[in-house]
Structure 1
């Protein structure tokens, strides 16, 4: 294990605490759902999970920074470390009773993700990775197995995954997306964290999203990369690129397909 062993143990503990809260509220008849200013939904489970995680991090890592989707940012201390939390990724699924949702926890050092954990209790599955330690999946920390991306090298043989088509239309890449879908062996819109985790397991070969927040993507990157994949933004920079308030994008592949997908969907860096 790498120098992140203690942090990874803590990330699992954070996920354990989060799972207890979120699982109890999933499909609850009294679940409260409101619309945030950007019109995306937030449930009482989202806020309760983040409060639980914040409380434990304040106890165990008081000198680390923290950025959460629901309660904003606590600046990093002199060590430059910052935890990034999405209490429930896939809130729209959560509030409709669809079991594809998860708590996402990442640790950043100098704004680069070095640890990621995704816990999906309704699926009975968890994924995690730390820099230099490989990527794993299983029901819990004690029962993880190594995971690896696929060896598919031709788009005609690839399973292609995306979040939705509307976002790609908004960034002027809809025609390119449709071209990829026509050329790929198979295309499906699993969305949110799940496409990235299936990519890390080798069950599909490409996952793309045009618009993301830092908390949507930070935990996913170490898992895909440690599983042998590649993640960049649309300009080809290692993702996530930019500060926490910036809008992000992601092209995640098994590595062998990255140049092809980036050439089709990418855009040049603004000068």
Structure 2
């Protein structure tokens, strides 16, 4: 592991203890945009710990966090992008599906990624040119995506659907013809399943997603041989854009061939339904 990845893992383990401390306790919940976008004291404490630790270890680097309003002055150098608690909704419900995601950009390009799942004692990690791995209960395995190229019979990673959280694009995704759906919480865990060959594709249907939701996982998936993440039109994600949010749906798949077929079929359905 590089010094950067070592620091990221040490901090993620500490932040995981913060999440455990508040898990299944009476939480004070605030909402950023609506009832489906909550933030808890655990989010904020984890954020403070991660940002302080990164700043202490790498004082010249910039930081972008989901829970901080501060934006990087530039993406020309090194920028850490963090999600202190992904799947806050599941965390509030007392589930064990939440994760901590830490990624590093260098000159605007994904460099390193870590997805830490504190309630499962496992984490995914990867560095450009060094491969990606999963550590589960102390055993480390190298990741390799499946060779899936067809939508039919493939495995989609989906979300927990909450009452009232209706998204028109969900109906479009249902029409694509995937063979089965695996339900998972943390985005990093969803894409991690593709990286280790247990799933084939993921379509994120929430327009509130940001760079913190994708960077770490993109490194892990790419280093496992997977296709780069793209938006709903098949365009690569641009981490140097000024806004922190994507304001677009995004997708991941095991192979470029599968990703291209999903993109084409989504476009064809949308031409008929105008769902997104």
Change (3 A) 1:81 1:178: same
Change (3 A) 1:175 1:229: same
Q: What does residue 212 of structure 2 align with? A: 215
Q: Can you list the C-alpha shifts for 1:212-246, whole angstroms capped at 9, x where unaligned?
A: 21111111110111111112112222235544244
Q: What does residue 204 of structure 1 align with? A: 199
Q: What does residue 150 of structure 2 align with? A: 154
Do the aligned partners of 1:163 and 1:208 also contact (CA within 8 Å) in 2?
A: no
Give the one of 12, 26, 33 matched to 2:29. 33
Secondary structure of the corresponding residue to residue 257 of structure 1: helix
Q: Distance in 2 between matches of 1:175 and 1:245?
A: 24
Q: Can you list the C-alpha shifts for 1:79-108, whole angstroms capped at 9, x where unaligned?
A: 611111110000000011110000110101
Q: What does residue 72 of structure 1 align with? A: 69
Count of equivalent residues: 258
Do the aligned partners of 2:234 and 2:260 also contact (CA within 8 Å) in 1?
A: no
Q: Can you list the C-alpha shifts for 1:38-83, whole angstroms capped at 9, x where unaligned?
A: 4421111110011111111121111111011112225357961111
Change (3 A) 1:206 1:219: same
Matched, 1:87 2:84: yes
Give the one of 224, 235, 248 matched to 1:237. 235
Change (3 A) 1:118 1:263: same
Give the one of 206, 222, 225 matched to 1:225. 222
Do the aligned partners of 2:75 and 2:108 also contact (CA within 8 Å) in 1?
A: no
Q: Can you list the C-alpha shifts for 1:154-208, whole angstroms capped at 9, x where unaligned?
A: 2222111233786751xxx45531221xx22112443441221111111010011
Q: What does residue 126 of structure 1 align with? A: 123
Change (3 A) 1:167 1:219: farther
Change (3 A) 1:191 1:101: closer
Give the one of 150, 171, 174 matched to 1:178. 174
Q: Distance in 1 between matches of 2:167 and 2:21?
A: 35
RMSD (CA atoms): 2.4
- TM-score between the two structures when normalised by the length of structure 2: 0.84
Change (3 A) 1:78 1:96: closer
Secondary structure of the corresponding residue to residue 263 of structure 1: helix
Q: Distance in 1 between matches of 2:260 and 2:33?
A: 37
Change (3 A) 1:27 1:174: closer
Q: Distance in 2 between matches of 1:66 and 1:15?
A: 15
Q: What does residue 21 of structure 1 align with? A: 18
Change (3 A) 1:96 1:154: same
**Post-superposition offset of 1:11:** 1.1
Secondary structure of the corresponding residue to residue 42 of structure 2: helix
Change (3 A) 1:27 1:75: same
**Stretches of structure 2 lacking an aligned partner (at least 5 in a row):** 272-276
- TM-score between the two structures when normalised by the length of structure 1: 0.86
